[in-house]
Amino acid sequence: MNDVIHGDEHWMREALKLAELAAAEHEVPVGAVVVRDNKILGSGFNTPISGCDPTAHAEITALRQAAKNEHNYRLPDATLYVTIEPCTMCLGAIMHARVARVVYGATEPKAGVIYSNPVWQQGGFFNHQVEWCGGVLANEATALIQQFFKQRREAKKQLKRLANGDEKNVSELHKE
Contacts of 67 (CB under 8 A, 6+ apart): 42, 73, 74, 75, 97
* Residues flagged as binding site: 57, 87, 90
- How far apart are alpha carbons 176 and 174 in whole angstroms? 5
Residue 70 among the catalytic residues? no
* Residues flagged as binding site for Zn(2+): 57, 87, 90
- How far apart are alpha carbons 148 and 67 in whole angstroms? 30
Catalytic residue among 9, 25, 27, 59: 59
In this structure, what are the phi and psi dihedrals at residue 62, rounded to the nearest 5 degrees?
Answer: -65, -40
Q: Which residues are catalytic?
A: 59
